[in-house]
Chains A and B, each alone.
Chain A
C-alpha cells in the first residue's frame, strides 16, 4: 500500500518500517508482502488508491523492511490500538507525530454486507483520508522539521498523554494467551484472550487478533461487525488531526 510513496521518496533519507502486528507470523503475512503470483487487486481498492494494475502488482511487493511482530510489542510500546496506525520519527530518533490512524477512514462502514459494495460517499471518504495522509508524509519528507505537519514537542506530549485507556493487565493477558497459543494450547489460551478483550475493549488489535487465532476468518465476520456497529456514532478510525500542531 505504501510502496509507490516509498519509491517516490526513498532517496530523500526516508524509510518506511512496516510492522505486522500479527501473531500468525510469517505464514500469515507472507502472501501480502511476497506474493507468489502476479497480484490482481480489487477494482474498489484501485479506485481508492488511484493506481493502475502495474502499480498494483509492484505495490504488493514492498522493498522497504517488513517486520513481523507476533507479540504486538510495537502496539504496546506505541499505544497502537488498531491498524493501520503510524508514528513519525525524525533523524534523531524523536517522535514528531505520535501514533494516529494512517490514512484509513470509516468509509468501510457504508459497505453493504451482502454485496460488499461501498456507497459512493464511503469510497470518497476513504480516498480523501488516504490522500491527505499521503500528502502530509510528502510534505514532511520535502520540508523536514519546517513541515506544518511536524508537531511541536509540547503538542506531541499532549497527544501522547491523552488519557490512555489501556490496562496493563489486558496486555499481560493477551501475551500469556499468545504464548499458550504458540505452544499449541489454543483452547487454554481462550480465557486469557477473553480477559484481554474484556479489559481493553477499545484495543481493536487484541479483539481482531484473538478472534483470528480462535477461529480463522472471524476477525472480519459478524462478530467484528457487531462490535463496529456498537460504536454507533463513535469512530472506528478516529481521523488524524493532521494540522494545527505547530507551537
Chain B
C-alpha cells in the first residue's frame, strides 16, 4: 500500500513502502527520493553525514533490498508519529538540530506564502532590521 511520508516538511507518496507496526520498509531508491538518505558501504548516508548500521542490529535496518526508515529515524533521534488508517508517517526534527540552530544566534531561515501566494523568505530581507511578529485568527 502506498504510504505518505512527511520528511522535513515535504509529503511524498511512496508506492512500495511496507509499514509493520513501528517499522517502515522501503526500497533504497524510494528512501533516497523521499528523504535523501542513501545506502552505502559505510552505512546510511546523506551529504557528508553517514550513520553506520549498529553491529548486531543489521536486520532491524536492512532486509533483502529494503531499508527500515523508522529504524534510521530512531537512530537519529527524530520524533516519529504515524497514522495507520491513512498510512501517513511524519518524521520531525531532532531537538539537537533545533538547539544547534538557535545556539548560533543566526535567525533560522524559512519560506512562506503571502495572501497572494507569493513566497517570501526571511533571507530576502537581509540588510534590514526585521521585527518578526506572530499573530493568529484564533
B114 touches A17 (CB 8 A): no
**A171-197 near B? 1/0 per residue, CB < 8 Å:** 111011001100101001000100100
Q: Please give the distance in Å from B120's CB to the nearest CB on chain A.
A: 5
Contacting residues of chain A (1-46) with chain B, CB-CB under 8 angstroms: 1-2, 12-22, 24, 26, 28-30, 32-34
| Closest residue on chain B to residue A219 by CB atoms | B138
Which secondary structure dominates chain B's binding surface? mixed
Interface string of B107-138 (1 = CB under 8 A from A): 11010111100001011011111111111111
Interface residue from A15, A21, A28, A68 paired with B114 (Cβ < 8 Å):
A68
> In angstroms, how far is the closest chain A Cβ from the Cβ of B16?
21
Q: How far is the CA of A18 from the CA of B112 in the complex (A)?
A: 11
State whether A179 touches B88 (Cβ < 8 A): yes
* In the complex, chain B residues whose CB is within 8 Å of the CB of A226: none
Contact A91 B127 (CB under 8 A): yes
Q: Interface stretch among B38-46, B51-59, B90-98?
A: B90-98
- Give chain A residues whose Cβ lies under 8 Å from the Cβ of B79: 168-169, 171-172
B99 CB, min distance to chain A CBs, angstroms: 8
Contact A86 B132 (CB under 8 A): yes
* A156 with B105: CB separation less than 8 A: yes
- Chain A: minimal CB distance from B65 (Å): 28
A83 to B138, CA, bound (A): 10
Beyond A34-B115, A90-B129, A171-B79, whether A74 also contacts B110 by CB under 8 A is yes
Q: Which residue of B lies closest to A69 (CB)?
A: B112
Number of interface residues of B (CB under 8 A): 48
| Cβ-defined partner of A17 (8 Å) among B91, B132, B136 | B132
Instruction: Map CB proximity to B onto A56-85 as digits: 1 under 8 Å, 0 otherwise.
Output: 000000000111110101111111100111
Query: Is A55 engaged at the interface, CB distance under 8 Å to the other chain?
Result: no
Considering only CB atoms and an 8 Å cut-off, how many residues of chain A contact the other chain? 81
What A residues does B92 contact at CB under 8 A?
Answer: 168-169, 171-172, 175
> Assuming the A-B contacts A156-B105, A180-B88, are A83 and B132 also in contact, with contact meaning beta carbons closer than 8 angstroms in the complex?
no
Checking A94, A102, A179 against B133 with a beta-carbon cut-off of 8 angstroms, the contacting residue is A102
User: CB distance A89 to B86 under 8 Å?
Assistant: no
| Interchain CB contact under 8 A, B128 and A68 | no
> Whole-angstrom distance between the alpha carbons of A211 and B92 in the complex?
22
A93 within 8 A of B: yes
In the complex the two chains form, what is the Cα distance from A130 to B91 in whole Å?
A: 39
Using CB atoms and an 8 Å cutoff, list the residues of chain B in contact with chain A: 6, 9, 11, 79-83, 85-86, 88, 90-95, 98-99, 101-103, 105-108, 110, 112-115, 120, 122-123, 125-138
Q: Which residues of A contact B (CB under 8 A)?
A: 1-2, 12-22, 24, 26, 28-30, 32-34, 65-69, 71, 73-80, 83-95, 98, 102, 137, 140-141, 144, 153, 156-157, 160-161, 164, 168-169, 171-173, 175-176, 179-180, 183, 185, 188, 192, 195, 205, 208-209, 211-212, 219-220
Given contact pairs A76-B93, A88-B131, a sample of 5 additional A-B residue pairs in the complex whose CB atoms are under 8 Å apart: A21-B136, A89-B122, A102-B133, A157-B103, A169-B92
Interchain residue pairs with CB less than 8 A apart (25): A1-B135, A2-B133, A12-B129, A14-B128, A14-B130, A29-B115, A29-B137, A32-B137, A67-B112, A67-B120, A74-B132, A75-B134, A77-B98, A78-B132, A84-B133, A84-B135, A87-B131, A87-B132, A92-B126, A93-B107, A160-B102, A169-B81, A172-B80, A179-B90, A192-B81
